[in-house]
Structure 1
């Protein structure tokens, strides 16, 4: 075996080559891109000589994506994506001074894959279809998070100078709200809005009970509220126009990416199985597929998938003390999708509802019970994917019914 540590940066890679006995064979700083990859292949080729076909090349790097990683996989190397936190802890095994350099990190990565590769997870062999789903699903979710952040910033600004808007508009990122705030971003302009203008905005947003809502909005906007001096209000109004423009664009792009997510996910061979799961639709299902991937050999057992999902608990035991805790180090996107699925499954699956109610009856809080339900649903999904079968309500929960009856 030949072990390679690759400490990557945006413009270059520090690499270290090591043999099975831990001896340094070569090191270099390589440029990012085709030229750097060619030099890396040449360095490895020099060390392998005539035995290239009989030697396995194992690479440790702190990322699992990008053209460089894909080129390593395409070359036939075994690539381990190592968590940077693990690298930092491993570095402390050899010294506590806190010294750090890119070349030293490359040596640390080579040493990790040389001594502890059995503890590390290789880069998943996901298909191109799954990678495409991941790209659009993550971008879609990121835009939703950005829309929420910008909406909260807008709310805080309005509270400071235009509290009537916060009271009048219950949903600040709705189309009618953004249209009206764009026309009247300050209290005086908002008070001059006519009923017809408000009605028209509500109708374009396909709102219901338009006349009643328009009258209520106008009444709030024309009521007396505390405010700021005129010059300060004008400054705030300028920032509100900018925020409205950003939110309007985000709304449009979220809708466009939603179409892309549905299109890419619908073409994936696992889509039918994932959509059969309770609480999963095209968008949520795409996020679950994106974060788990579709490599059939990535998760050997349901427990492995649950641990990766961070829905399974961890145990901390020392002496007479023992505590079972939730996992706080996790993939935010995956746990968000799974917890949302669990909540939706309460209405979609009688078995899921019964399991959740049993947990609550035993004293579990809402979130812990939901997390345990999510953990159970991950196991069900794993079984369906392994056997290539659709979800069946009776099969999924029959053992729970038998235990309860006993």
Structure 2
């Protein structure tokens, strides 16, 4: 490769720098974030020897956006450089701590020139895998938004209507349950809730989807919503009720978004060739499987071995050694989305796999705390997943968790 391109990305424009093998600047430009700007960038690269068989590699500080998607479509190597890493490289080129967009583009180009092997290219995932990633990540974001909206509404209700939380708190979903949301929309203040008749409560329960033991639930709500509690002044209480309705609309929108995106994620995931293998693992369903596929992709060359995938998922520990001091610590720099689904995966696997449960119990007996044992189980499962995807095999309990024949083997597992 005779040329290396660095792009300092911005929301409305991008600075381009192309250097040769000695670090000399070959070309520089500032392009707009438009189709015309992309054409200008491709012309600059063509002038520096870019061809379909020998494309000029590009370094940029993001893996998202139309510019990155368009460059990936050309088949060229794209390196998404962590901004913190780029900042460290900047000190190699200037000690005065000066900074400019052109200098940042030069730094990115020189990263490829000197240390391309130390950085990872964006994976060549299929179009379907990229679509699953968009949907699964959006669904996870919607779940976080739903939780945030629910927490805001719960905090607000504690300030003037704690009796409602006590009345609906028996259900696992609490404020997120359709019955709770339907009741709160009909009676957002303690006074309105106390005036609900049994007939109105029965109608609201049916509207929320309740089908069994309606009369018993009506009597319970009719009694608990009338329990005396501290009250604000009438006008203040009414104003807080209006705020509740506004917060409830946000929660309703977040719930609808999370449900719709979950359905779309599952539908797209189930059409992928890897779906059958991924869901063959205990603890992984269609939605959690979609989240796993979204983060690891379907480019088999992305991870050379299971160790790379384990490090990416954050399940493999980090060893720090200096002289006689050696410490093994949990990995902090990782794919947080994959690590998040990993803990749920490990927890669910223990309920569906005797081998997974036995592995967790052995780690606990060896002295691990719950989180460490769970992370170790996730480490084992993600390694098995890499093997199964690489060889096109479904999960096999006897292979993943062979019965130990000697005591020291059980601890080593």
- Report the TM range for the smaller structure's normalisation: over 0.9
- Partner SS for 1:27: strand
2:22 counterpart residue number? 21
Matching residue within 338, 343, 361 for 1:357: 361
Equivalents in 2 of 1:342, 1:154: separation in Å? 31
- Partner SS for 1:300: coil
Q: Is residue 175–residue 248 contact of structure 1 (8 Å, CA) maintained in 2?
A: no
Equivalents in 2 of 1:222, 1:187: separation in Å? 8
Correspondence 1:190 to 2:193: yes
Q: Is residue 78–residue 122 contact of structure 2 (8 Å, CA) maintained in 1?
A: yes
CA drift of 1:404 comes to 3.2
CA drift of 1:211 comes to 3.1
Equivalents in 1 of 2:202, 2:339: separation in Å? 41
Equivalents in 1 of 2:59, 2:403: separation in Å? 43
- Partner SS for 2:230: coil
Indicate the RMSD between aligned Cα atoms, in angstroms: 1.9
Matches within 5 A, 1:256-275: 256-275=260-279
Equivalents in 1 of 2:385, 2:114: separation in Å? 34
2:202 counterpart residue number? 199
2:77 counterpart residue number? 78
- Partner SS for 1:93: helix
Q: Is residue 93–residue 107 contact of structure 2 (8 Å, CA) maintained in 1?
A: no
Change (3 A) 1:299 1:228: same
Equivalents in 2 of 1:53, 1:65: separation in Å? 23
2:330 counterpart residue number? 326
Q: Is residue 186–residue 237 contact of structure 1 (8 Å, CA) maintained in 2?
A: yes
Equivalents in 2 of 1:204, 1:239: separation in Å? 23
2:410 counterpart residue number? 404
- Partner SS for 1:330: coil
Matching residue within 178, 183, 187 for 2:181: 178
- TM-score, length-normalised on structure 2? 0.93
- Partner SS for 2:225: helix
- TM-score, length-normalised on structure 1? 0.95
CA drift of 1:331 comes to 2.0
Flag structure 2 segments of 5+ consecutive residues without an equivalent: none
- Partner SS for 1:107: helix
- Partner SS for 1:398: coil
Equivalents in 2 of 1:399, 1:91: separation in Å? 53
CA drift of 1:25 comes to 1.0
Change (3 A) 1:230 1:321: farther
2:341 counterpart residue number? 337
Flag structure 1 segments of 5+ consecutive residues without an equivalent: none
- Partner SS for 2:11: coil
Q: Is residue 182–residue 244 contact of structure 1 (8 Å, CA) maintained in 2?
A: yes
Could you report, residue by residue, the CA deviation over 1:211-242 in whole angstroms, capped at 9, with x for unpaired residues? 33332323222111123222322221111101
Matches within 5 A, 1:46-61: 46-48=47-49, 52=51, 55-61=54-60
CA drift of 1:53 comes to 6.3
Correspondence 1:278 to 2:277: no
Change (3 A) 1:405 1:316: closer
Equivalents in 2 of 1:63, 1:401: separation in Å? 49
Moved over 6 A (4+): none
Aligned residues: 404
Q: Is residue 80–residue 122 contact of structure 2 (8 Å, CA) maintained in 1?
A: yes
Could you report, residue by residue, the CA deviation over 1:2-31 in whole angstroms, capped at 9, with x for unpaired residues? 100001111111010000111111111111
Could you report, residue by residue, the CA deviation over 1:249-291 in whole angstroms, capped at 9, with x for unpaired residues? 2222322222211110111000000010110000000000001
